[in-house]
A and B are shown apart, each in its own frame.
Chain A
Amino acid sequence: EAQVTQNPRYLITVTGKKLTVTCSQNMNHEYMSWYRQDPGLGLRQIYYSMNVEVTDKGDVPEGYKVSRKEKRNFPLILESPSPNQTSLYFCASGRDSRTEAFFGQGTRLTVV
């Protein structure tokens, strides 16, 4: 089954404790991206990757890192999480940047 898998689905952590949210897709997509969704602000792009070893900043990259060492994986790293990073995070992939995106089920992160 074609899918984008994120883990964990739910996470509560403390300020400053490094964490990684994993994202994996099995569709051989070149394009992957991360979004956060906050009430009233909609989905905002954090980082995206056009292909392996190619990443770029989206609209809200501060406080986040990503890597794309393999085509299927695109982890999101929060080196020192802060409460303003409490949000619902979605990973997405697509054949390329022009076509539709397939989303993971989301990760609800709470930073206390």
Chain B
Amino acid sequence: RKEVEQDPGPFNVPEGATVAFNCTYSNSASQSFFWYRQDCRKEPKLLMSVYSSGNEDGRFTAQLNRASQYISLLIRDSKLSDSATYLCVVKAYSSASKIIFGSGTRLSIRP
């Protein structure tokens, strides 16, 4: 089983829709969580950190469920420019600086 798993998609949704995807992790010692966005052939860029109490940044909401060991990303009122691959990142401090990336979820927003 992979340490961090994401549904690869692709998710193909119309502009204006709300879309959500999850990321599950297996290491219960994981302590930091992030969502990155990666455009085709470009470098990953931080979208948002994920805090225990959940956090929102404009149209984006991230949540953490430690009991079930998953994080989620919700995008409201999706825009064409949201089309990208979304990577979840999990960091576990119990094993030095192990940083695990999910394989990414592809999102395509259609007009």
Which residues from chain A sit less than 8 Å from chain B, CB to CB?
A: 31, 33, 35, 40-45, 48, 50, 56, 58, 88, 90, 97-106
Contact = CB atoms under 8 A, between A and B. Distances in A.
Contacts of B87: 42-43
Contacts of B34: 100
A98 B101 contact: no
B46 A101 contact: yes
A30 to B, nearest CB: 11
Contacts of B93: 97-98
Contacts of A102: 46
Contacts, number: 53
B1 interface: no
Interface in B1-25: none
Nearest to B32: A98
A97 B91 contact: yes
B32 A104 contact: no
A42 B91 contact: no
Interface of B: 31-32, 34, 41-46, 49, 87, 91, 93, 96-104
A102 B96 CA distance: 19
Contacts of B97: 31, 33, 48, 50, 56, 97
Given A42-B87, A98-B91, A100-B49, A105 B101 contact: no
A105 B43 CA distance: 5
A42 B101 contact: yes
Contacts of A104: 43
Interface centre among A43, A48, A50, A56 (most CB of B within 10 A): A43
B42 A43 contact: no
